[in-house]
Protein backbone atom coordinates (compact mmCIF):
# COMPACT_ATOMS: atom_id res chain seq x y z
CA UNK A 1 0.00 0.00 0.00
CA UNK A 2 1.49 3.30 -1.05
CA UNK A 3 1.42 6.52 0.93
CA UNK A 4 -1.77 8.41 0.26
CA UNK A 5 -3.64 5.28 -0.78
CA UNK A 6 -6.93 4.81 1.03
CA UNK A 7 -7.46 1.73 3.20
CA UNK A 8 -11.24 1.93 2.83
CA UNK A 9 -13.41 2.14 -0.27
CA UNK A 10 -17.08 2.71 0.37
CA UNK A 11 -18.24 2.23 -3.23
CA UNK A 12 -19.78 -1.19 -2.45
CA UNK A 13 -21.54 0.18 0.63
CA UNK A 14 -22.80 3.18 -1.33
CA UNK A 15 -24.10 0.95 -4.10
CA UNK A 16 -25.83 -1.48 -1.72
CA UNK A 17 -27.41 1.36 0.27
CA UNK A 18 -28.56 3.31 -2.76
CA UNK A 19 -26.12 5.99 -1.56
CA UNK A 20 -28.37 6.60 1.48
CA UNK A 21 -26.22 8.68 3.84
CA UNK A 22 -28.13 7.48 6.92
CA UNK A 23 -27.51 3.83 6.10
CA UNK A 24 -23.87 4.51 5.25
CA UNK A 25 -23.41 6.43 8.49
CA UNK A 26 -25.07 3.66 10.52
CA UNK A 27 -22.93 0.95 8.90
CA UNK A 28 -19.75 2.93 9.57
CA UNK A 29 -20.81 3.47 13.21
CA UNK A 30 -21.41 -0.26 13.65
CA UNK A 31 -18.05 -1.07 12.09
CA UNK A 32 -16.26 1.45 14.32
CA UNK A 33 -17.81 -0.27 17.34
CA UNK A 34 -16.73 -3.71 16.09
CA UNK A 35 -13.11 -2.93 15.20
CA UNK A 36 -11.76 -2.81 18.79
CA UNK A 37 -13.35 -6.23 19.45
CA UNK A 38 -11.80 -7.64 16.28
CA UNK A 39 -8.37 -6.25 17.20
CA UNK A 40 -8.55 -7.52 20.77
CA UNK A 41 -9.85 -10.99 19.87
CA UNK A 42 -7.33 -11.50 17.08
CA UNK A 43 -4.44 -10.43 19.34
CA UNK A 44 -5.63 -12.54 22.26
CA UNK A 45 -6.31 -15.64 20.18
CA UNK A 46 -2.99 -15.41 18.38
CA UNK A 47 -1.00 -14.93 21.58
CA UNK A 48 -2.81 -17.89 23.17
CA UNK A 49 -2.30 -19.97 20.00
CA UNK A 50 -6.03 -20.63 20.10
CA UNK A 51 -6.52 -21.56 16.45
CA UNK A 52 -10.23 -22.25 16.81
CA UNK A 53 -10.96 -18.75 18.14
CA UNK A 54 -8.51 -17.07 15.76
CA UNK A 55 -10.15 -18.70 12.76
CA UNK A 56 -13.62 -17.81 14.02
CA UNK A 57 -12.88 -14.12 14.64
CA UNK A 58 -11.03 -13.85 11.31
CA UNK A 59 -14.12 -15.26 9.60
CA UNK A 60 -16.43 -12.88 11.46
CA UNK A 61 -14.29 -9.81 10.78
CA UNK A 62 -13.72 -10.65 7.11
CA UNK A 63 -17.19 -9.71 5.88
CA UNK A 64 -17.23 -6.51 7.96
CA UNK A 65 -13.92 -5.23 6.61
CA UNK A 66 -14.88 -6.12 3.05
CA UNK A 67 -18.13 -4.16 3.44
CA UNK A 68 -15.94 -1.14 4.20
CA UNK A 69 -13.91 -1.86 1.06
CA UNK A 70 -10.85 -2.99 2.99
CA UNK A 71 -9.92 -5.63 0.42
CA UNK A 72 -6.35 -6.07 1.61
CA UNK A 73 -7.55 -6.65 5.18
CA UNK A 74 -10.26 -8.99 3.93
CA UNK A 75 -7.70 -11.07 2.03
CA UNK A 76 -5.46 -11.05 5.10
CA UNK A 77 -8.28 -12.31 7.29
CA UNK A 78 -9.23 -15.00 4.78
CA UNK A 79 -5.67 -16.36 4.82
CA UNK A 80 -5.59 -16.09 8.60
CA UNK A 81 -8.82 -18.09 8.81
CA UNK A 82 -7.44 -20.88 6.60
CA UNK A 83 -4.07 -21.06 8.36
CA UNK A 84 -5.82 -21.16 11.76
CA UNK A 85 -8.13 -23.97 10.66
CA UNK A 86 -5.12 -25.82 9.24
CA UNK A 87 -3.25 -25.48 12.52
CA UNK A 88 -6.29 -26.76 14.42
CA UNK A 89 -6.49 -29.70 12.00
CA UNK A 90 -2.80 -30.44 12.62
CA UNK A 91 -3.35 -30.45 16.40
CA UNK A 92 -6.38 -32.73 16.06
CA UNK A 93 -4.43 -35.09 13.79
CA UNK A 94 -1.77 -35.35 16.49
CA UNK A 95 -4.46 -36.30 19.01
CA UNK A 96 -5.69 -39.00 16.65
CA UNK A 97 -2.18 -40.32 16.00
CA UNK A 98 -1.55 -40.48 19.75
CA UNK A 99 -4.92 -42.20 20.24
CA UNK A 100 -6.22 -39.42 22.46
CA UNK A 101 -10.00 -39.53 22.52
CA UNK A 102 -11.77 -36.60 20.92
CA UNK A 103 -14.08 -34.52 23.08
CA UNK A 104 -17.46 -33.54 21.59
CA UNK A 105 -15.90 -30.14 20.76
CA UNK A 106 -12.96 -31.86 19.06
CA UNK A 107 -15.41 -33.87 16.94
CA UNK A 108 -17.22 -30.69 15.92
CA UNK A 109 -13.93 -28.95 15.15
CA UNK A 110 -12.72 -31.93 13.11
CA UNK A 111 -15.84 -31.73 10.94
CA UNK A 112 -15.09 -28.05 10.28
CA UNK A 113 -11.38 -28.41 9.50
CA UNK A 114 -10.79 -31.89 8.10
CA UNK A 115 -10.69 -30.68 4.48
CA UNK A 116 -8.35 -27.76 5.16
CA UNK A 117 -5.23 -28.10 3.02
CA UNK A 118 -2.83 -25.53 4.48
CA UNK A 119 -1.39 -24.76 7.89
CA UNK A 120 1.23 -22.52 9.44
CA UNK A 121 2.53 -24.62 12.32
CA UNK A 122 5.96 -22.97 12.01
CA UNK A 123 4.27 -19.54 12.34
CA UNK A 124 5.82 -18.05 9.24
CA UNK A 125 2.64 -16.44 7.88
CA UNK A 126 0.21 -15.97 10.77
CA UNK A 127 2.26 -13.36 12.69
CA UNK A 128 2.68 -11.30 9.50
CA UNK A 129 -1.04 -11.49 8.73
CA UNK A 130 -2.01 -10.54 12.29
CA UNK A 131 0.40 -7.58 12.25
CA UNK A 132 -0.80 -6.44 8.84
CA UNK A 133 -4.44 -6.49 9.94
CA UNK A 134 -3.72 -4.75 13.25
CA UNK A 135 -1.64 -2.05 11.56
CA UNK A 136 -4.44 -1.24 9.10
CA UNK A 137 -7.18 -0.88 11.71
CA UNK A 138 -6.15 2.54 13.13
CA UNK A 139 -5.76 3.92 9.60
CA UNK A 140 -9.19 2.64 8.61
CA UNK A 141 -10.74 4.07 11.78
CA UNK A 142 -9.23 7.48 11.00
CA UNK A 143 -10.48 7.39 7.41
CA UNK A 144 -13.98 6.31 8.40
CA UNK A 145 -14.27 8.98 11.10
CA UNK A 146 -13.27 11.59 8.53
CA UNK A 147 -15.87 10.17 6.14
CA UNK A 148 -18.55 10.41 8.84
CA UNK A 149 -17.70 14.08 9.26
CA UNK A 150 -18.27 14.63 5.56
CA UNK A 151 -21.64 12.85 5.29
Q: Contact, 8 vs 140, CB < 8 A?
A: yes
In this prediction, residue 36 carries a pLDDT of 97
pLDDT band at 52 (very low <50, low <70, confident <90, very high): very high
Per the structure, how many domains does the chain have?
1
Q: Is residue 6 part of a domain?
A: no
Report if residue 56 sits inside a domain: yes
In a domain, 143, yes or no: yes
The contacts of residue 141 (CB under 8 Å, 6+ apart) are 32, 35
pLDDT in tens, 107-148: 999 999 999 999 999 999 999 999 999 999 999 999 999 999
In a domain, 47, yes or no: yes
Domain residues for the domain of 136 are 11-150
Per-residue model confidence (pLDDT) at position 4: 65
pTM of the model: 0.89
Domain-embedded: residue 4: no
User: How many CA atoms does the CB half-sphere of 57 hold within 13 Å?
Assistant: 19
- Is residue 2 included in any domain, yes or no? no
Amino acid sequence: MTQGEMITDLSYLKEMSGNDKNIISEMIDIFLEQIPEFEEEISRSFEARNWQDLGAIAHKAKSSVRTMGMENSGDCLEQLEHFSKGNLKFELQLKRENRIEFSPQDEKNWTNVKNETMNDIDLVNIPVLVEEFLSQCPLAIKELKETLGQL
